[in-house]
Structure 1
Amino acid sequence: MTNVVYALGYRTWADGVKVGYAFSPERIAVRLRDDRTLAQVVLVDPVRSHLKRLVPERPAAPRFSVDPTRRHLQPRRWQRGEPTERAEAVKVQRRLDARLRGLVDSRDTVLVTSHPVLAAVAERAAWRDVAFYAWDDYRGVPGSAGLVQWAYDQITAREVNVVAVTPAIVEIVGARRSTVVPNGIVAADFEPPGTVPEWYDALPGPVAFYAGSLQRRIDVAALLQLADDLPPEWRLVLVGPLQEPECFAALAERSNVLIRPAEPRRQVLAMMAAATVCLVPHLPETEGMSPLKVYEYLGAGAPVVATDLGPMRGLSSHCRLVAPGQRLAPEVLAAAGQPRATRSEVLAFRNEHDWDHRYLAWRAAVVGA
């Protein structure tokens, strides 16, 4: 039986719990924990400062497992922040690699990591294999573009196994060993349906809806045009953490635009299902992403209008694509006028893209069938 050490990158187990296990790192961690064909599983948080312990999380995240063969490691150092200078970053990740090899019989263990520097410097010969799980293009981590590009070059040169969410990320990394496993959903998350917040239920007229982090990846110019083009009875609603407020200042001034902070996950899924049309207005440089929201929108049964990027294509006839730079309103109004997905179409979509299937493909790519 194989062991797996799964080292997260940039997001801890607690971070995943906070958002309702919504993203692929925690989805995979849960399935690794429950996979009884694996002898041992060690989940490893990114290296954090000892000083974080002085302000513990409230409420504390649930334990990863009580099973002694399923461990959770939270490595620490004294310095704060993610190292962005190469020498320091390499030192931190090499030390972590050595520590991880001491926890298991590394010759029977696959090291999987979403941290590009750990994937770049891990002692490949000491592990059964090393895999880099790229669920995003990490060159976008603040201050880390040069470091991450160096790590990508090392991953390619050392023929590290790359499992990525899109072909674009495989090309960006330059991997020679690679598998694409797109994002997915959990069908059970949609049943029974949640309830929308009172403020949402009180909105008059049709709603064009966006859920997710409000940051530079969003085509704000396209949303400004949409706000101007929509009929007066429509509302454009954006729900999520406002990470870069300066980008959305002009949009917030529009009278038919409502920007709201993040809501509990079940309520967000309910808002998706209740929306007239859901939006994925991403900029072309996000080609490497496999947006979770488009799967959730379609899993909720909503019609979708998205920027025409590779990861959006071929998902559903209920997902309309708009070329970058083109106006969204014609497709939004057309989507609103078409019949919504039937119950059987929605259930078929959920089943096809459920993480139960995605995990089998991911596991085969990482440790074999």
Structure 2
Amino acid sequence: MTGQSDGIKGVLKRQYVWGIVAIILLLAVNVAKDASYLSIGYNASNGALVGNVIDILRAAAPVMMIALGMCLVVATSGIDLSVGSVMVVAGAASMELLAGAGNTPGAALTALALALGISVVLGLVNGVLVSVVGLQPFISTLVMMLAGRGVAKVITSGQNTAATNDTFRWIANGYVLGLPVVFVFAVLIVVLLGLLVRRSALGLMIEAIGMDPAAARLAGVNRRGMLLAVYAISGLTAGIAGVFATASVMTVDISRTGDQMEMDAILAVVIGGTSLAGGKFNLTGATIGALLIATLDKTVVFLGISSSATPAFKAIVIVVLCLLQSQRVRQLFVRRRTISRPAPLVKEVAA
């Protein structure tokens, strides 16, 4: 029994477990309103699985992408407020190219390469401002956050741009084995990035920079190179998210694409157990946090909560979840259980 108890306590100490619990509770609320909420159907015409759960998986893909990059940046004691703007720049570049190109796979691949290339460059600009110029990450990425939408307006001449390309649309709206392609791509990227940072020394070096930059430098860690790499990865994942968001409707909305996505990314990272103080990161937790945010957004719509009250509803859920994750709150519950438990009786044994 003691071993099982210790095992349960060990699981509960993993903060992302509470994210899983929150997802289950939100789904339970939806099921209470509609018993068929979790039902999954099959569309024989395109071989796709359909249902609310599938919609949640599709909506979670862009959030998963920006949360991955944000997770690595936060691990270095940094922050990236520009991910939403990078998303709209990537979408603007791809839509502007496709608007003047033919409906061919080659045009789609060119647009994808252009979008991701520009995103990496923007991420490298953030990295240079932080590691070379020496600006605070908050200031550097805030500048890029404000400038990014301006760049997108320059690319599209200030207009929302639409295009037609079946291959590019398939990236966000296609299906593989019944699952949305966009979610399959997102999971593959999570796995590949996880292998990269955990099966090599890259993850340890990133954490070392966040824990103690001076000690990391003495240990031979190239802080400048690591920061450039981390911000480039953040830009790349934000660009992928921008492609996902834009390809789903084949239109880039300069004002709304990527709007406030940096907040969702930060929330997903925190929910997943990554400390904003840096030094540690958890890609699995960030992924679960992204799924939670997508589930929460869908729940808000399903319950018919007014748009004006939506931010307050999300804030309440996030605050409760963060309280459950708090070490101090958990210790308080443990202390109360210990006090309420009666002391064992000691029997005197006669000599």
Same fold by TM (over 0.5)? no
Report the TM-score, using the length of structure 2 for normalisation: 0.24
Higher helix share: 2
Q: TM-score, normalised by structure 1?
A: 0.23
Q: Which structure features the higher share of strand residues?
A: 1
| Bigger Cα Rg | 2
